[in-house]
Amino acid sequence: MPGVPGPMNAITDVPGVTAGFTTLITDPGPVRTGVTAILPRPPGRLLHPVWAGTFSMNGNGELTGCHWIREAGSFTGPITITNTCSLGIAHHATTRWLAEKFPEKIGETVWPLPVVGETFDGWLNDIAGLHVREDHVLSAINSASDGPVPEGNVGGGTGMIAYEFKGGTGTASRIVSLRASTYRLGALVQANHGLRPWLKLCGIPVGELMPENAMWSSERGSIIVIIATDAPLVPSQLERIARRVSIGIGRGGTVSGNNSGDIFLAFSTANDPGELPEPALVRFDAIGSDDMDGLFTATVESVDEAILNAMLAAETMTGKHGHIVHAIDPERLADLILPQLRR
Residue 279 has pLDDT above 90, yes or no: no
pTM (2 d.p.)? 0.97
Lowest mean pLDDT among 36-50, 189-203, 204-218: 204-218
- For the chain, give the mean pLDDT: 96
Task: Tell me, yes or no, if 145 is annotated catalytic.
Answer: no
Domain boundaries, the chain: 11-341
11-341 domain in CATH 3.60.70.12? yes
Average pLDDT of span 287-306:
97
108 band by pLDDT with thresholds 50, 70 and 90 = confident
Interatomic CA distance for residues 231 and 284, integer angstroms: 12
The helix/strand/coil state of 37 is strand
Distances (CA, A) of 293 to 11, 17, 32, 90: 20, 23, 39, 35
Per annotation, catalytic residue among 86, 246, 260, 268: 260
Residue 256 has pLDDT above 80, yes or no: yes
Which residues, listed in sequence order, are joined to residue 38 by a DSSP beta bridge?
19, 79
Residue 278 has pLDDT above 80, yes or no: no
User: Looking at residue 317, what is its pLDDT?
Assistant: 98
Residue 107 has pLDDT above 90, yes or no: no
Per annotation, catalytic residue among 86, 222, 246, 302: 222
93 band by pLDDT with thresholds 50, 70 and 90 = very high
Interatomic CA distance for residues 194 and 292, integer angstroms: 29
Per annotation, catalytic residue among 121, 230, 262, 304: 262
Task: Tell me, yes or no, if 222 is annotated catalytic.
Answer: yes
Residues 6+ apart with CB under 8 A from 237: 53, 286, 287, 289, 292
